[in-house]
């Protein structure tokens, strides 16, 4: 119970303290202290003793942390006055209402995902500040040493302070670009977890949900959440041992159908808000692709729109695949042959598949061989070898 | 807080512009210098006029040319007063070189 409160409320408590103290490190220190006190006091006690989680845990935590921080600042100030050396801190210590704590996580998200910070710093800081992950956990997730991750976080926090990165939601004219940066960070966290490090994927969903809650009218926030929920719902079916299982061959009983339904509901919301952005379209594609009978012309149409937005050749390639599935492999091959993706494995494997369908087996074999040359992972190599043998 | 906006561009980028564009660029620079947030603004003479100075063993050593031998050179400097980095960046985007292939480096100034 206490652990759950900690995970859920860390971001809110920290955001409130960053605002109050105007300093990331001081806020983190104060929050940690308050959570430690809570861990001790909130334990269920024996008969006749007071214990348990208070009715408003966020207010309790923020108040406790603020009081601790104020005490510390007072002590430091007294010390500074004694030695007549350091300037007194300028923090304003207003009376505060301890029942209504404003949710300032959105400000915190935009600060952590400020494009002036290096991307790896944005990702780490978002996981630390909003997700409440420990430095060691983040280090493990990104396969670096704890020392490296600590330096990465420190660098990001130092830059926020030294350069005056604001603790604010950007103005309307800056919002689209800055929101893109936030969405990219959450999607990156999800993709890091996609290949099996499930904790990060779950963390991305959590962050996506926070963002969608805080920006209820922003279609792309809902689009991103829907996309990662629908993908994540298929995680158990994606691998068979070490082997990659393609969507067509996945065991549908392993899909998390409740999460798919929840993801689709989020997608409906995004569409109802008029969403036509890249994440909404990708979520729509993910949703179409897991239907009992896939509406390939509709998938092709969605990829066409996505290609228009992104201008990406990889998306064009996916568009061609959908065109082939919709019944026109010849048109698909013509589209694929216009693309400049020679170094891309899936370009060649897609060509191979299209050529095979068109009965041009010799050319298909050559394309699959080229794909095999580019394959780096064992599951991919095994998959392509099987295809070659079947020709 | 104060920010230094350091302007890097390829030498002579202005001369290559059509007349109308050049007039517009000059007007944009003047507007920037008039901005209340602008503390100081200077344009530097071409990089060929630079001299690098060091002192070693009590002797003053000089080399001809700019410190860093790069395609883009430091061509000017604007010192501004801004509320935060976002505001400083907003001013930086109004320096015309950023849309003409140049770069503006934004650095906070140490408060004294």
Residue of B nearest to A168 (CA): B86
Q: Residue holding tokens 């969605």?
A: A302
Amino acid A256: pLDDT: 95
Residue A73 domain flag: yes
Integer Cα distance of B102 and B4 in angstroms? 16
Amino acid A248: pLDDT: 80
Whether A174 sits inside 8 A of B86 (CB atoms) is yes
Residues in Cβ contact with A378 at an 8 Å cutoff, skipping those fewer than 6 apart: A242
Integer Cα distance of A112 and A186 in angstroms? 11
Residue A15 domain flag: yes
pLDDT tens profile B35-50 = 999 999 999 999 999 9
Integer Cα distance of A39 and A60 in angstroms? 12
**Closest by Cβ to A170, choosing from B1, B86, B106:** B86
Residues of B in contact with A170 (CB under 8 A): 86
Whether A164 sits inside 8 A of B1 (CB atoms) is yes
Integer Cα distance of A128 and A277 in angstroms? 28
Nearest C-alpha of chain B: how many angstroms from A170?
A: 8
B106 forms beta bridges with B5
Which residue positions in chain B have pLDDT lower than 70? none
Whether B85 sits inside 8 A of A165 (CB atoms) is yes
Residues in Cβ contact with A133 at an 8 Å cutoff, skipping those fewer than 6 apart: A127, A141, A203
Whether B86 sits inside 8 A of A163 (CB atoms) is no
Phi-psi group of B82: left, alpha or beta (phi > 0 → left; psi -120 to 50 → alpha; rest → beta): beta
Q: Does B86 touch chain A (CB under 8 A)?
A: yes
Domain CATH code at residue A15 = 1.10.1740
Whether A116 sits inside 8 A of B89 (CB atoms) is yes
Query: Which structure tokens are listed for B108?
Result: 């906070």
Amino acid B69: pLDDT: 82
Residue A54 domain flag: yes
Residues of B in contact with A116 (CB under 8 A): 85, 89
Nearest C-alpha of chain B: how many angstroms from A152?
A: 20
Residue A7 domain flag: yes
Residue A103 domain flag: no
Q: Does B69 touch chain A (CB under 8 A)?
A: no
Reported pTM? 0.85
Residue A48 domain flag: yes
Cβ–Cβ < 8 Å for B112, B19: no
Integer Cα distance of A268 and A279 in angstroms? 13
Residues of B in contact with A114 (CB under 8 A): 85
Residues of A in contact with B83 (CB under 8 A): 164, 166
Cβ–Cβ < 8 Å for A224, A187: yes
Cβ–Cβ < 8 Å for B35, B65: no
Consecutive 10-residue averages of pLDDT for chain A (391 residues) = 79 94 92 91 63 83 91 81 57 49 92 96 95 90 92 96 95 92 95 69 93 96 97 88 79 94 97 96 96 94 96 95 95 95 93 95 95 87 89 83
Whether A168 sits inside 8 A of B86 (CB atoms) is yes
Closest by Cα among A34, A70, A56 to A101 = A56
Q: Best of A113, A162, A163 to disrupt the B interface by mutation (most B CBs within 10 Å)?
A: A163
Residue A317 domain flag: no
Q: In this structure, what are the phi and psi dihedrals at residue B79, rounded to the nearest 5 degrees?
A: -110, 125
Long-range contact set of residues A210-217: C-beta below 8 Å, sequence gap at least 24:
A210/A11, A210/A105, A210/A109, A210/A130, A211/A106, A211/A109, A211/A182, A211/A183, A211/A186, A212/A266, A214/A103, A214/A105, A214/A106, A214/A109, A215/A106, A215/A179, A217/A273
Q: For residues A74-92, b (16+ Cβ closer than 10 Å) or e, as one string? A: eeeeeeeeeeeeeeebeee
User: Can you spell out the DSSP letters for A134-185?
Assistant: -HHHHHHHTT--HHHHHHHHHHHHHHHHHHT--SSPPPTTTHHHHHHHHHHH
**Domain that includes residue B63, residue range:** 2-108
Q: In this structure, what are the phi and psi dihedrals at residue A328, rounded to the nearest 5 degrees?
A: -130, 70
Residues of A at the B interface, defined by Cβ within 8 angstroms: 114, 116, 162-166, 168, 170-171, 174
Q: In this structure, what are the phi and psi dihedrals at residue B6, rounded to the nearest 5 degrees?
A: -100, 125
**A-B Cβ pairs (cutoff 8 Å, strict):** 27
**Domain that includes residue A76, residue range:** 2-83
Residue A23 domain flag: yes
Domain CATH code at residue B47 = 3.30.70.1060
Cβ–Cβ < 8 Å for A222, A267: yes
Total number of domains in chain B: 1
Amino acid A110: pLDDT: 97
Total number of domains in chain A: 1
């Amino acid at each position: 119970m206490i652990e759950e409160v900690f995970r859920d409320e860390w971001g809110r408590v920290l955001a409130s303290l960053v605002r109050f103290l105007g300093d990331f490190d001081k806020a983190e220190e104060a929050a940690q202290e308050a959570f430690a006190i809570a861990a001790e006091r909130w334990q269920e006690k024996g008969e006749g003793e007071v214990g348990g989680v208070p009715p408003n845990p966020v207010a309790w935590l923020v108040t406790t942390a603020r009081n601790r921080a104020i005490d510390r600042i007072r002590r430091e100030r007294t010390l500074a006055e004694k030695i007549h050396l350091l300037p007194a801190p300028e923090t304003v210590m207003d009376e505060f209402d301890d029942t209504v704590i404003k949710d300032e996580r959105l400000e915190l998200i935009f600060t952590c995902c400020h494009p002036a910070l290096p991307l790896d710093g944005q990702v780490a800081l978002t996981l630390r500040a909003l997700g409440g992950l420990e430095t060691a956990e983040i280090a493990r997730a990104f396969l670096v040493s704890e020392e490296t991750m600590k330096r990465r976080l420190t660098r990001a926090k130092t830059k926020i302070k030294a350069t005056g990165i604001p603790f604010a939601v950007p103005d309307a004219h800056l919002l689209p670009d800055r929101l893109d940066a936030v969405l990219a960070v959450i999607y990156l966290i999800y993709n890091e977890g996609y290949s099996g490090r499930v904790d990060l994927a779950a963390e991305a969903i959590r962050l996506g949900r926070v963002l969608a809650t805080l920006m209820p009218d922003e279609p792309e926030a809902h689009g991103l959440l829907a996309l990662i929920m629908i993908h994540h719902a298929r995680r158990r079916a994606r691998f068979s041992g070490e082997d990659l299982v393609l969507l067509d061959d996945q065991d549908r009983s392993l899909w998390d159908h409740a999460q798919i339904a929840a993801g689709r509901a989020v997608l409906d919301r995004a569409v109802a808000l008029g969403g036509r952005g890249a994440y909404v379209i990708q979520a729509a594609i993910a949703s179409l692709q897991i239907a009992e009978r896939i509406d390939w012309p509709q998938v092709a149409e969605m990829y066409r729109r996505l290609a228009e937005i992104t201008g990406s050749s990889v998306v064009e390639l996916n568009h061609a695949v959908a065109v082939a599935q919709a019944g026109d492999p010849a048109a698909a091959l013509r589209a694929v042959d216009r693309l400049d993706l020679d170094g891309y494995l899936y370009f060649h494997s897609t060509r191979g598949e299209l050529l095979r369908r068109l009965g041009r087996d010799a050319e298909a074999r050559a394309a699959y061989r080229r794909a095999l040359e580019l394959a780096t992972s064992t599951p991919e190599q095994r998959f392509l070898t099987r295809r070659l043998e079947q020709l | 807080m104060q920010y230094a906006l350091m302007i890097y561009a390829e030498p002579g980028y202005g001369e290559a512009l059509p007349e109308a564009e050049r007039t517009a660029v000059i007007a944009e620079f003047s507007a920037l210098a008039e901005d209340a947030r602008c503390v100081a603004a200077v344009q530097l003479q071409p990089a060929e006029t630079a001299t690098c100075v060091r002192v070693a063993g009590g002797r003053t050593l000089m080399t001809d040319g700019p410190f860093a031998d790069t395609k883009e050179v430091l061509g000017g400097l604007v010192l501004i007063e801004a509320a935060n980095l976002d505001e400083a960046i907003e001013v930086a985007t109004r320096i015309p070189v950023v849309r003409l292939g140049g770069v503006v480096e934004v650095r906070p100034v140490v408060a004294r």
